[in-house]
């Protein structure tokens, strides 16, 4: 979608971090923006601050992306406020570790419910609407560099992001003939509060386990040294206009080498399969 001014975007995880930056970047180019988030106080403050900056085309709605009914209600509020929705940014996410000791089913369920099922709920809710209005559209799914490498080890975060990458690739193939684009955002370290996402953990998942808490503390330091989320958001705007499937925010040798090791290992396994008499 090259012409975005006057159209409407829905952004989850919009109270802070990349989500808030996306809201700002999209509003700056003239889009109507609905910011959705589970953190109501931060959400209200975000919209108030944007309004003070002259971005009066931004509104907010409470939304728990792990709950499909909540996403549907947020969608209805958006239609009521702005009419047709054209861009959907399934951005809300949480991050904790797991490891191989004392594996927490509750933590895995929480991360997958938000990071994976939250994306699915956004697609399931808005895709029929975008197809019906026939004006074209674009879906942005936030994954991570962790969706391409396994540096975090046995991790619900990496597992969820691998799934979001695959989901986006398949979705892009099927939506291309319908004039609906798909972008999967795969950032490295960005200055956000994602490693403090336990602050919004719903009570039904119980408290964070010790390993997750330790990993959060370590990775928070790396995140603090990351890049500005607004730069990431403006890169997303370009990707929407150019209909780019992948966005990588980091391309240094340390990031590239991890991908090369993984891809080369996969290709060697394919070569072994091709040379195996048992598989011929």
Question: Which pTM was predicted?
Answer: 0.94
Cα 106 off chain centre by: 21
Distance from C-alpha of 77 to C-alpha of 62, rounded to nearest angstrom: 10
pLDDT of 1 > 80? The answer is no
Q: Which of 79, 157, 205, 211 is catalytic?
A: 157
Distance from C-alpha of 272 to C-alpha of 280, rounded to nearest angstrom: 11
Distance from C-alpha of 34 to C-alpha of 156, rounded to nearest angstrom: 29
In the prediction, which pLDDT does 212 show?
Answer: 66
Q: Are 167 and 122 in contact (CB under 8 A)?
A: no
Residue 246 designated active-site: no
DSSP, residue by residue, 160-199: HHHHHHHHHHHHHHHHGGGTEEEEEEE--SBSSSGGGGGG
Distance from C-alpha of 214 to C-alpha of 212, rounded to nearest angstrom: 5
DSSP, residue by residue, 52-91: HTT-TTEEEEE--TT-HHHHHHHHHHHHHHHS---EEEE-
Q: Which of 232, 234, 167, 168 is nearest to 194 (CA)?
A: 232
Residue-wise pLDDT tens digits, 193-227: 887 788 888 989 988 776 666 666 667 777 777 89
Higher pLDDT among residues 153 and 5, named by residue:
5
Q: Extract the tokens encoding 212.
A: 């997750």
User: Which residue in this structure is represented by tokens 């099927």?
Assistant: 174
Q: Are 180 and 130 in contact (CB under 8 A)?
A: yes
Residue-wise pLDDT tens digits, 65-122: 999 999 999 999 999 999 999 999 999 999 887 778 878 899 999 999 999 999 999 9
Cα 97 off chain centre by: 18
With residues binned 3-state (H G I as helix, E B as strand, rest as coil), the percentages for the chain, rounded to 5, are 55, 15, 30
DSSP state of 146: G
199: left (phi over 0), alpha (psi -120 to 50) or beta: alpha
């Amino acid at each position: 979608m090259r012409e975005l001014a006057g159209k409407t975007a829905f952004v989850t995880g919009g109270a802070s971090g990349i989500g808030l930056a996306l809201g700002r970047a999209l509003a700056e180019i003239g889009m109507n923006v609905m910011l959705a988030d589970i953190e109501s106080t931060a959400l209200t403050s975000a919209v108030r601050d944007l309004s003070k900056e002259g971005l009066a085309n931004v509104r907010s709605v409470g939304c728990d992306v792990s709950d499909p009914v909540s996403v549907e209600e947020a969608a209805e509020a958006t239609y009521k406020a702005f009419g047709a929705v054209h861009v959907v940014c399934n951005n809300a996410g949480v991050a904790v570790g797991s490891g191989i000791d004392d594996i927490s089913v509750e933590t895995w369920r929480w991360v997958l419910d938000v990071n994976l099922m939250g994306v699915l709920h956004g697609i399931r809710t808005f895709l029929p609407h975008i197809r019906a209005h026939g004006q074209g559209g674009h879906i942005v799914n936030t994954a991570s560099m962790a969706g391409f490498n396994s540096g975090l080890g046995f991790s619900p975060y990496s597992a969820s992001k691998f799934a979001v990458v695959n989901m986006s690739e398949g979705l892009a193939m099927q939506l291309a003939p319908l004039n609906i684009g798909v972008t999967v955002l795969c950032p490295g370290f960005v200055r956000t509060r994602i490693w403090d996402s336990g602050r919004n953990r719903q009570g039904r998942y119980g408290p964070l386990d010790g390993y997750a808490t330790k990993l959060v503390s370590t990775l928070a330091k790396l995140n603090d040294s990351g890049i500005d989320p607004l730069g990431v958001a403006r890169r997303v705007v370009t990707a929407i206009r150019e209909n780019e499937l992948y966005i990588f925010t980091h391309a240094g040798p340390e990031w590239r080498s991890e991908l090369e090791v993984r891809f080369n290992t996969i290709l060697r396994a394919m070569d072994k399969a091709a040379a195996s008499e048992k598989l011929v």
